[in-house]
Structure 1
Amino acid sequence: MRKLRVLIVNCYSDNNRGARGNPLFVPQSIAPLALAGAFARECCELQVHCEFRQGPLDELKRLAWAQLLVLTGLNSALDRMKQLCAYAKSLNPGVVVVAGGPLARVLPQLCARYFDIVLSGDVESLAEMVAGMYGPEMRAAAVTPRLDLGPRWHPVGYAEASRNCNFACSFCSMTAEGRPYQSLALAQVRAQLEQLQGKQCVMFLDQNFFGGARCDVEARMELLREFVDAGHIKGWAALVTSDFFAKDDWLQRARRSGCIGFFSGVESMDDAQLRHYQKKQNLQLPGAQRIERCLSAGMTFHYGLIFDPRERRVAAMRSEVEAIASNPALTLPSFISLAIPLLGTPMFRRLVAEHALLPHLKLRDMDGRSLLTECLDPVDEVCQLLAEMDFCMIDTTRARRHAWGLWRRYRGTLPARALLSALSPDLACLLPRFSTASREAHLGAGAARRTHYGPSEPLGTLYQPRIPLEARYQAFFEPTRVTDAQGELHADMQADLGSSVSTEMPVQILIERQRLPAMIRG
């Protein structure tokens, strides 16, 4: 029996409006490897490509090779998914194109215009689809991420121990999807760790590693301690919500089990802003205290800051960053971003109701570097701040001084790997050309320079088709519109995001059978 040829692509459009990969950036996406786990190894020939890590999929012959093309990506990647679908259909009309991920859950009806199959569930729904369309032998007996398909050279490996989040922040895509928190069975976590033996660090990409029953968290830490003590992995890291740092006991448990550090959503040092974001969990302990408590316990702390120009002045944001940079007890933010009103979130719905979104916005603009709304300060001043965010708004002199102070303070507290990780935001400011956060400053050939103002932002080089296309596929290179000329919700969004549509999308499989090749029709 000939094997089913499957190509899985994690789609991404680089913020610099050109195109390049980010192989050294931490963290990377586990999505393509998780999706690969749906297929039986002995019956399927698999290829995976992550455009965030490897850059755009330029080898179009791989799209012609595939019988089944599986596409996923974050919210702003929908246009890129459409583009790859157009290439694949032009080169191989018999290919079946499946789309999944956050956009498939929030915009299922819009996605059904472009893709043969739209999956709004997790990887298990892909396994069910494969079994139903191609036969049960094509489905993996146990749906486990194919971590062996990831880069072997990188010292960091990725895993998941849970899905979704038990909090409901106003700007988070998890809130828009409305799916319950789910802890994975410990056996599933063990199976992933066994694939990652030899890694310097295993990073858990859960939305909240600390969610769910506390006995589940304890069991995960004991399992990790087993692998660290046996020398199978050197350490681990995870994404946790701020309530994790409220009790020193959890920090001590984590350190004893081999934890190197955490990423946690600080978002702002201003309590009023946190309430605006509905980040109730962040009000238990001040952000600066959480950071210092974690570092003093011997683990690094990474976080991001978010700026909402409708609610806060540019001067206040600058002052907050300057205060952090002047304090060697704190790590610098790993990134600074505009508050993104992701589709379907409470923030997005509020802005639509208040008619506060700018006109002619594209989904492509929802990248954290484009002004999307009205603002308190002059537009030019806000856009200048957005441009500086690529360097975390900190000059090299201040970054050098902060790095020296941080190193002196924690060199006897943090292990070498954790200390280097804690210093990485400083190094990104000192070496911007090698920083993923600074990629917008180094435009690719032919890329238009950014304006940081949503209505006038350029599309980028990926929107120029590389091969001749039929008229029906040329439309796949048009940007997805969010607002119209009046700033109202665009007609293309109405079916999925109109006021009568619930934000809680059911898990479903949408199949337009008339568009599928006759050979696989039921």
Structure 2
Amino acid sequence: MQPIAGLHIAALIDAERFDVVLYHEDWHGPFDPAHCSKYDLVFLTGLQPDFDRLRQLSYHFRRSGATVVAGGSVCTLFPEFARQFFDVVCAGGVDCVRDVTSDYLAGSLRPIYRSPIAQISDYTVDYSLLRKSGINPTTHLAETSRGCSFKCSFCVIPSEVGVHVSHGLASFKASLESALASSPRFSMRSWYPMVMLLDNNFSDDRAHMLAVCELLRDHPKVRGWGALVTQNVVQDRALIETFAASKCVGLFVGIESLDAGFLRRYNKTQNLGRRQNVIDDVAFAEGHGIAVGYGYLFDPRYQTAAEMQQAMEAIAENPLMPMPTYLSVVAPLAGTQLFWEDLESGRLAPNLRFRDLDGETICYAQLAEPAQPIVAFLERIFRRPWTVVGRMRILLKTLRRLRHSRSFNPMRWYIIASASFHCFTWSKSSPARPRTYLAGSDTLDPQYGEHPDDLTVEDRVRYFEPIALTDGDGKPSLWLIPYAEARRKPKATARSLPVSSPSDAGIVAMRPEK
């Protein structure tokens, strides 16, 4: 969905010493272990539900003789635990990649490299690697900053980053030129260049944000752009007008919920101080030709299935409010404030696994009602969303929004329509196999069982058994206990944590040039 993590890793690798290949499993499909022998040094990265997949890939690559380096959320938050599955663990940002490759060539790799995510060195992203690796998104995916200064309790960014930091404007401009120059001739990125800024929070540094807006506005090739912003941005009418004048065609806004109680519960303060009604704010932005997308979260601990259905009905009936681009249940991502609070209070489901943190699985032991009606509702919204809100209602709603946008640009129409129907297209990718939607018992991916016949029991447990966060009683798994204790003792350092046995993936594979 956002295949640029490998690009930023590759940007810090000496192209004269290594032949770099990108592989993105959401784009290419599951990696074939038969091809592992082609590579000498492999970087793996992914989100928390991907961690088991990183372990599986690590086994296959290490078995074929490659050195495996892993990063991402779990490696950043629990590096001592993660190191038992990989040759090298990178905790933090990508800036340590230069040190890793240098030490690899010198034969002096360390087990853990730490780089503050809030530290961004000056580098240019080589977008020609997308074309070389067969990755062809419809828009130019870019990043001008990282991190976020807000402290939403369900978000991993406060734990992983905690601050916001920007790329230098000159390096962003150079990366943008690389993206434009390397676009395939017969592609949307070449015919109608649009830029999607994947910053965690584009609006965190206002001066930097406005400088980027000016750069995109004045660029002769860029036809439009979009970004990820917080809800307080759309209530700033003057800023929205500035965005519209700068070629902004879409914003993905962190609305999350229209329920004020939900927002207070998760410390989403940026959504609670608005003077205008959020629906009016969205309508104002769309009236200026800026399509608004957002994700909508359900909390099965406090909402019944009927209340979830009512929330969807209320959105569908309002002609000015877009349908959510994504739907999800709240997931207690490991290391977040929400996770630690729920773990300590015993609210997490027994045998909760990293793989269950996918936004579709119920991860809690205590729900607003018996699980069956909630599971039935989730099965509908994730596999058959047209049974929750009919296609015709959404079509009529979309046509009204197109008229309200007051734009005759067909690309703006496409953006509005595709966001409106995204839940329908997303449901087509849901696996056909039965699911329970309950943590600890939900069906695992086929790759958990795809291993050689001579796999030892030790390696099966280490690389192919799912990692659990809680035991059968909902208490912390053994490996997690030292981290829970360190959290309660502020003076404890991460480096003092022991390594215990085990109970988003993206790959950058590299062949050193001879």
TM-score tier by shorter-chain length is: 0.7 to 0.9
Return the match for 1:457 from 428, 442, 449: 442
Contact 2:126 2:179 in 1 (8 A): no
**Alignment partner, residue 68 of structure 1:** 41
Does the alignment pair 1:180 with 2:163?
yes
Does the alignment pair 1:340 with 2:343?
no
**Alignment partner, residue 45 of structure 1:** 19
Contact 1:196 1:202 in 2 (8 A): no
Return the match for 1:267 from 256, 266, 271: 256
Change (3 A) 1:128 1:220: same
Compute the displacement of 1:474 (Å): 2.0
1:14-93 alignment, distance < 5 Å? 27-58=1-32, 60-92=33-65
Compute the displacement of 1:507 (Å): 10
Compute the displacement of 1:497 (Å): 3.9
Distance in 2 separating the partners of 1:221 and 1:409: 25
1:232-243 alignment, distance < 5 Å? 232-243=221-232
Q: Counterpart of 1:304 in 2: which secondary structure?
A: strand
Q: Counterpart of 1:112 in 2: which secondary structure?
A: helix
Return the match for 2:179 from 196, 218, 223: 196
Aligned length: 465
1:77-476 alignment, distance < 5 Å? 77-92=50-65, 95-134=66-105, 143-151=123-131, 153-197=136-180, 198=190, 200-212=193-205, 214-227=206-219, 230=220, 232-285=221-274, 286-373=277-364, 374-390=366-382, 393-395=385-387, 398-411=390-403, 413-414=406-407, 415-428=409-422, 432=424, 435-440=425-430, 442-443=431-432, 448-471=433-456, 472-475=458-461, 476=463
- 1:177-225: CA deviation from partner (whole Å, max 9, x where unpaired): 243210111012101210222353110110001112x221111111111
Distance in 1 separating the partners of 2:281 and 2:427: 24
Distance in 1 separating the partners of 2:246 and 2:493: 38
Aligned CA-pair RMSD:
2.6
Compute the displacement of 1:419 (Å): 2.1
Q: Counterpart of 1:38 in 2: which secondary structure?
A: coil
Change (3 A) 1:409 1:436: closer
Compute the displacement of 1:492 (Å): 2.0
Contact 2:47 2:73 in 1 (8 A): yes
Q: What's the TM-score, normalizing by structure 2? A: 0.85
Contact 2:202 2:228 in 1 (8 A): yes
Contact 2:286 2:401 in 1 (8 A): no
- 1:225-250: CA deviation from partner (whole Å, max 9, x where unpaired): 122xx1x2221110011111121111
Compute the displacement of 1:364 (Å): 0.6
Contact 1:176 1:504 in 2 (8 A): no
Distance in 2 separating the partners of 1:233 and 1:69: 34
Distance in 2 separating the partners of 1:505 and 1:253: 47
The one-letter code matched in structure 1 to 2:392 is: R
Compute the displacement of 1:396 (Å): 8.3
Distance in 2 separating the partners of 1:290 and 1:55: 39
Change (3 A) 1:322 1:181: same
Q: Counterpart of 2:327 in 1: which secondary structure?
A: strand
The one-letter code matched in structure 2 to 1:185 is: G
Change (3 A) 1:223 1:352: same
The one-letter code matched in structure 1 to 2:258 is: M
Distance in 2 separating the partners of 1:355 and 1:316: 25
Unmatched tracts of structure 1, length 5 or more: 1-26, 513-522
Contact 2:383 2:427 in 1 (8 A): yes
- Percent identical among aligned pairs is 28
Contact 1:69 1:97 in 2 (8 A): yes
Deviates more, 1:197-206 or 1:334-343: 197-206
Compute the displacement of 1:130 (Å): 1.5
Return the match for 1:482 from 466, 469, 472: 469
Q: What's the TM-score, normalizing by structure 1? A: 0.84
Distance in 2 separating the partners of 1:496 and 1:176: 13
Change (3 A) 1:488 1:499: farther
